Structure 1
Amino acid sequence: MLAPDWVCEVLSPSNTRNDLVKKLRTYHRCQVPNYWVVDPMNEVLTVHRCMEGGYLNVLTAERGERVRAEPFDAIEWSVGVLFGDDPDEQ
């Protein structure tokens, strides 16, 4: 089976531990190159890159910031769109 190139998890209060611990380990074991965590409670995006020993945190950004987040780093965009901001107003 093929692993995806990118996974994005949206945290929920009832499943946070599973997303941040168990799924992260599973994705690393399967060598998923890019793992994003979107935290709607704190309005934060965290971007991880798969490395030999685990995931490396390559970006942490919050609503109001503009980013180039791998693997889509050719495009600059506002983190706020993940939390309902209008992309045309950024």
Structure 2
Amino acid sequence: MAEPAERRATYEDLLGVPAHFVAEIVNGRLVTHPRPAPRHLQASSSLGGALDGPFNKGRGGPGGWWILDEPELHLGPHILVPDLAGWRRTRLPSLPETAWFELAPDWVCEVLSPGTAVGDRAEKLPIYAEHGVAHVWLIDPQPQTLEAFENNAGKWRLLTTLNNQDQISLPPFDAIAFDLSLLWAD
């Protein structure tokens, strides 16, 4: 006798997850993990802060972006929550009235942790590529690295890997440069 088909997770399943967890629906499965650890938060918050002034506010940079922490993305059947995401305002002139975004971002940043790294790489990266995200940065606080990828016809092309105190000046935010060590907790 055949195994019954696994039930696909619903938005109601996601809403039932306790607030101290991050919940996503990836390939039909409810995926949960605890809120990020302090080193993870340091990296994400510092990167968001470095990009906010020049790109979100137009101070010391070109402006023209929305840069947001942990937005809820509804990409087809998937509900993803990257650590950071950015939309060019030419594509998203105003923020939606909903608690989520249906328009894929232009840039996504995932901060890797031991519990999320495999899912971020093996499951979420292909979804981002399929939905037209142009750039993805993967940050790993433990070895202090940043990998920058560019979407090339639905396939990710590694642009560079930076580490420790290297200077960041990478697409789509190559109008500015800053020291990668800004992201690491001392």
Query: Which range, TM-score by smaller chain?
Result: 0.7 to 0.9
Q: CA deviation at 1:80?
A: 1.0
Whether 1:58 and 2:145 are equivalent positions in the alignment is: no
Q: More relative contact order in 1 or in 2 (CA 8 Å, sep 6+)?
A: 1
Per-residue CA deviation, residues 29-73 of structure 1 (Å, 9 max, x unaligned), is: 001001000001110000000001501111210011112111100
Structure 1 residue ranges (4+ consecutive) displaced by more than 4 angstroms after TM superposition: none
| Distance across 1 between alignment mates of 2:141 and 2:167 | 17
Task: Give the aligned residue type for 2:146.
Answer: L
Amino acid at match of 2:109: C
Match of 1:42 in 2: 143
C-alpha distance in 2, partners of 1:84/1:75?
Answer: 22
1:10 aligns with 2:88: no
For residue 138 of structure 2, what is the amino acid of its counterpart? V
Q: Could you tell me how far 1:84 is from its partner in structure 2?
A: 3.3
2:133 paired residue among 32, 57, 64: 32
Q: For 1:63 and 1:9, how far apart are their aligned partners in 2?
A: 17
- SS, match of residue 103 in structure 2: coil
Letter in 2 for 1:66: Q
RMSD over aligned CA atoms reads: 1.2
Identity fraction in percent? 35
